[in-house]
């Protein structure tokens, strides 16, 4: 089961807005990269780079963004989509709603 933190929608909207400011084509390609990431994370969540003790990191191909997520058994939680230049702790303090 894959769960997305509610704030990820804000992360995605901000990234798409920034990409669209460059070109609508860039925005569309960014969304495709996120869809590919979502699919690959679902298929094999342990495939991607460990990020500290608790998280994993998926680098979005062709974009300076990455996805931080955590895996606990068959549960996968996508925590944040962030720009590579954001502070490395950005989004890691998010908690899962009950």
**Cα(41)–Cα(56) distance, rounded to whole angstroms?**
10
pLDDT on residue 50:
96
pLDDT on residue 1:
85
pLDDT on residue 20:
86
Is residue 11 within 8 Å of residue 91, measured between CB atoms? Answer: yes
**Cα(43)–Cα(65) distance, rounded to whole angstroms?**
20
pLDDT on residue 89:
92
What are the backbone dihedrals phi and psi of residue 62, each rounded to the nearest 5 degrees, phi first? 85, 0
pLDDT (tens, 9 = 90+) of the chain, 98 residues, equals: 889 999 999 999 999 998 888 887 998 999 999 999 999 999 999 999 999 999 999 999 999 999 999 999 989 999 999 999 999 999 999 999 87
pLDDT on residue 46:
95
CATH number of 2-83: 3.30.2310.20
Is residue 68 within 8 Å of residue 53, measured between CB atoms? Answer: no
Q: Which two tokens stand for residue 52?
A: 């500290």
How far is CA 92 from its chain centroid? 12
Spatial neighbors of 66 by CB under 8 A, at least 6 apart, are 57, 58, 59, 60, 81, 82, 84
């Amino acid at each position: 089961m894959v769960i997305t933190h509610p704030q990820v929608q804000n992360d995605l909207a901000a990234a798409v807005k920034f990409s669209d400011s460059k070109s609508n084509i860039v925005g569309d390609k960014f969304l495709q990269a996120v869809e590919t990431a979502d699919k690959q994370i679902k298929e094999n969540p342990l495939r991607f780079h460990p990020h500290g003790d608790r998280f994993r990191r998926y680098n979005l191909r062709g974009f300076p963004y990455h996805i931080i997520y955590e895996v606990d058994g068959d549960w996968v939680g996508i925590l944040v989509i962030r720009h590579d230049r954001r502070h490395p702790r950005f989004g890691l303090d998010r908690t899962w709603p009950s």
